[in-house]
């Protein structure tokens, strides 16, 4: 696997690999930034031409902003852009050393893609899945070689968040996991190793936490303002639970919580009734201008 002799910001001593990113949405485009920034030959793949173009534009926009903000030199940004191509033809992924899957959260779709790739890429190619709530084992079962499939769960926004949760499926080989961790660390990511259990680490604790805060609000233990303020001032969280839910989006919280609940059948994961009411009302958070709080603009991460 990749053994660069410098950090992800240096040009020299790289060992560029061919990395395919499947799905050019929020996460796929973010992961493509991570790969192209490290000057891996990056192929962004999507079935939808318009989504692919939007994803490529997102990646280019990210590099332009990085240069404006002095986070990246112009030559490095140009090199990063040059190392990225897009395609809607799966056959173009044949030379991939690593495949990172970030398509819709749909088990059948993810399995099918891995199965189709089996016939195209070498047997040594690593298959990474960015699933949040599906089982790595289930997705791996779509491949003839489940030992090469590893769960690599990035955080949104992938270019800025250092954490990647790494989870083996039942049949993941230790070489695949070790190579995956080496690769992720060469990208400047911090890896933690967890199990193929619903929610891995972050969502496993975040979802019941957010639900318990919503229940506290429902039961009159405090107001959204007082609960946010109390948590902020007592626990060292960067923002209160309702500010965070407004950024995540109530629809996304509902989806993730429900999927975890379906697997765990533990009531702590079940989204409290207020969630369904807010989704029904269209109060999804910042992206719709109103969630727990009202917003004048719908930008997600400020300017």
Partner 1 sequence: MTTTTTELRHVGVLGLGTMGAGIAQVLAASGRDVTVLEQDGARIAAGRARLEASLDRDVARGRTTEAERAAVLERVWCTSSLVDLAPVDLVVESVSEDLAVKRAVLDRVAATVAPDVPIVTNTSALSVTELATGLPGPERFAGLHFFNPAPAMRTVEVVPGLRTTPELVERLVALVESLADKIAVVVKDRPGFLVNSLLLPYLNDVVQELDDDLATAEDIDVALQLGLGYRTGPLAMLDLIGLDVHLQATTALHAATADPRYAPPPLLRQMVADGRLGDKSGDGFRTHPSPAASPRPVSPHDRSPA
Ligand X SMILES: NC(=O)c1ccc[n+]([C@@H]2O[C@H](COP(=O)([O-])OP(=O)(O)OC[C@H]3O[C@@H](n4cnc5c(N)ncnc54)[C@H](O)[C@@H]3O)[C@@H](O)[C@H]2O)c1
Q: Report, as residue numbers or ranges, the catalytic residues.
A: 132, 153, 165, 203
Can you say whether the dihedral through the CA atoms of 36, 1, 28, 163 is positive or negative?
negative
Work out which of 209, 254, 288, 295 binds partner 1, going by CB under 8 A: 209
What minimum distance in Å lies between the beta carbon of 202 and partner 1?
4
CA-wise closest residue to 22 among 47, 50, 54: 47
What minimum distance in Å lies between the beta carbon of 27 and ligand X?
3
Of 50 and 234, which CB lies nearer to partner 1 in the complex structure? Answer: 234
CA–CA dist 284, 293 (Å, integer): 10
Of 45 and 63, which CB lies nearer to ligand X in the complex structure? Answer: 45
Helices 26-37, 74-82: crossing angle, 10 deg rounding: 120
CA–CA dist 211, 138 (Å, integer): 27
Complete DSSP assignment for 170-196: TT--HHHHHHHHHHHHHTTPEEEEE-S
Is 213 among the residues that bind partner 1 (CB under 8 A)?
yes
Q: SS3 of 51, please?
A: helix
Binding window for partner 1 (CB under 8 A); candidates: 9-17, 93-101, 115-123, 207-215: 207-215
Is 227 among the residues that bind partner 1 (CB under 8 A)?
yes
Binding window for partner 1 (CB under 8 A); candidates: 76-84, 112-120, 235-243, 271-279: 235-243
Is 237 among the residues that bind partner 1 (CB under 8 A)?
yes
113 binds, among partner 1, ligand X, none (CB under 5 to 8 A by kind): ligand X
Work out which of 161, 264, 274, 300 binds partner 1, going by CB under 8 A: 161
Q: What are phi and psi of 206, to 5 degrees?
A: -70, -45
CA–CA dist 198, 270 (Å, integer): 13
What minimum distance in Å lies between the beta carbon of 241 and partner 1?
8
Question: Segment 29-68, which members bind partner 1 (CB under 8 A)?
Answer: none
236 binds, among ligand X, partner 1, none (CB under 5 to 8 A by kind): partner 1
Binding window for partner 1 (CB under 8 A); candidates: 76-84, 155-163, 253-261, 272-280: 155-163
Cα dihedral 176, 46, 95, 179 in deg (nearest 10): -20
């Amino acid at each position: 696997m990749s053994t660069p002799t410098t950090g992800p910001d240096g040009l020299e001593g790289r060992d560029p690999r061919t990395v395919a990113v499947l799905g050019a949405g929020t996460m796929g485009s973010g992961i493509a930034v991570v790969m192209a920034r490290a000057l891996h030959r990056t192929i962004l793949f999507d079935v939808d031409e318009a989504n692919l173009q939007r994803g490529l534009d997102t990646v280019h926009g990210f590099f332009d902003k990085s240069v404006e903000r002095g986070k990246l030199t112009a030559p490095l940004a140009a090199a990063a852009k040059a190392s990225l191509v897009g395609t809607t033809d799966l056959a173009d992924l044949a030379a991939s050393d690593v495949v990172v899957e970030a398509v819709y959260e749909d088990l059948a779709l993810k399995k099918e893609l891995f199965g189709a790739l089996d016939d195209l890429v070498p047997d040594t190619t690593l298959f990474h899945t960015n699933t949040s709530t599906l089982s790595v084992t289930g997705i791996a079962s779509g491949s003839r070689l489940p030992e090469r499939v590893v769960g690599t769960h990035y955080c949104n926004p992938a270019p800025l968040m250092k954490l990647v949760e790494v989870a083996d499926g039942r049949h993941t080989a230790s070489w695949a996991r070790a190579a995956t961790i080496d690769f992720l660390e060469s990208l400047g990511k911090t890896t933690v190793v967890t199990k193929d259990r619903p929610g891995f680490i972050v969502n496993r604790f975040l979802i019941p936490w957010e639900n318990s805060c919503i229940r506290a609000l429902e039961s009159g233990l405090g107001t959204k303002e007082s609960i946010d303020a109390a948590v902020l001032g007592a626990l060292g969280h960067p923002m209160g639970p309702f500010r965070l839910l407004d950024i995540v989006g109530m629809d996304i919280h509902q989806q993730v919580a429900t999927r975890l609940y379906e697997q765990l059948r533990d009531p702590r994961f079940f989204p409290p009734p207020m969630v369904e009411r807010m989704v029904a009302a269209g109060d999804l958070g910042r992206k719709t201008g109103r969630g727990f709080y009202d917003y004048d603009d719908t930008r997600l991460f400020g300017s």
